[in-house]
Amino acid sequence: MLNRFIITILISILCFNAHAQRKVLNMAEHDDKAYYFGITFGLNYSSYRLRYTESFTEQDTFKIIESRFGPGFNLGLMGNLRLSKFIDLRFVPSLAFAEKRLKVNTRSVIGTDSIYNRSIESIYMHMPLQLKFKSDRIGNFRFYGLAGGKFDIDLAANARSRRRDEFLKVRPFDAGYEIGVGFEFYYPNFIFSPEIKLSQGLMNQQYKDSRIPLSNAIEQINTRMIVISIHLEG
pLDDT of residue 76: 97
User: If you count them, how many residues does the chain have?
Assistant: 234
Write the DSSP assignment of the chain as a string of letters.
Answer: -HHHHHHHHHHHHHHHHHHHTTSPPTTTTGGG-SEEEEEEEEEEEEEEEEEE-TTTTT-SSEEEEEEEEEEEEEEEEEEEEE-SSSEEEEE--EEEEEEEEEEEEEE-TTS-EEEEEEEEEEEEEEEEEEEEEE---BTTEEEEEEEEEEEEEETT--TT---TT-S--B-SEEEEEEEEEEEEEE-SS-EEEEEEEEEEE-S--B---TTSHHHHHEEEEEEEEEEEEEEEE-
Class of 2-58+70-100+119-233 in CATH: mainly beta
Count the Cβ atoms, other than its own, within 10 Å of residue 25. 12
Q: What is the pLDDT of residues 104-117, one digit of tens each?
A: 887 765 566 788 88
| Range of weakest confidence among 30-44, 48-62, 149-163 | 48-62
Mean pLDDT of 56-77: 86
Asked if pLDDT for residue 55 goes beyond 90, the answer is no
Give the confidence band of 23 by pLDDT, cuts at 50, 70, 90. low
pTM: 0.83
Q: What is the pLDDT of residues 105-149, one digit of tens each?
A: 877 655 667 888 889 999 999 999 999 999 999 999 999 999 999
